[in-house]
Amino acid sequence: NAGVTQTPKFQVLKTGQSMTLQCAQDMNHEYMSWYRQDPGMGLRLIHYSVGAGITDQGEVPNGYNVSRSTTEDFPLRLLSAAPSQTSVYFCASSVTGVSYNSPLHFGNGTRLTVT
């Protein structure tokens, strides 16, 4: 029972490099999302998806792209990394949206450092 799996756990990038953070869930959840966690700021929503082929922006989408070609996978792409993107990134999923009966299940996070 893997739940939400994020890879890699840690990553160091140089400014301007690109990379993809992977997220996969095996719970057949329709809703998937990406959050970033910064000290003193809690978690903020980057992008989310309510089903395969459907994505939308959250609070802080600039500098990030997403796609949802399958129900299971929701990768987050950084096209040109910047030091401001140094953060811990969490992928989370739920059955359908976020509600009392459909709370978010989180992955273990990816710590990204951009130098």
Partner 1 sequence: AQTVTQSQPEMSVQEAETVTLSCTYDTSESDYYLFWYKQPPSRQMILVIRQEAYKQQNATENRFSVNFQKAAKSFSLKISDSQLGDAAMYFCAFQTGANNLFFGTGTRLTVIP
Residue 5 or 65 with smaller CB distance to partner 1: 5
Q: How far is the CB of 60 from partner 1 (least distance, A)?
A: 11
Determine which residue in the list 2, 28, 40, 62 makes contact with partner 1, applying CB under 8 A: 40
Calpha distance 104→96 (Å, rounded) = 10
Determine which residue in the list 24, 60, 78, 92 makes contact with partner 1, applying CB under 8 A: 92
Asked if 89 touches partner 1 (CB under 8 A), the answer is no
46: Cα separation from own chain's centroid: 7
Asked if 103 touches partner 1 (CB under 8 A), the answer is yes
Asked if 97 touches partner 1 (CB under 8 A), the answer is yes
Asked if 64 touches partner 1 (CB under 8 A), the answer is no
Asked if 42 touches partner 1 (CB under 8 A), the answer is yes
Nearest to 47 by CA among 88, 90, 4: 90
Please give the residue ranges that form the binding site for partner 1 (CB under 8 A): 31, 33, 40-45, 48, 50, 56, 58-59, 88, 90, 92, 96-100, 103-104, 106-109, 111
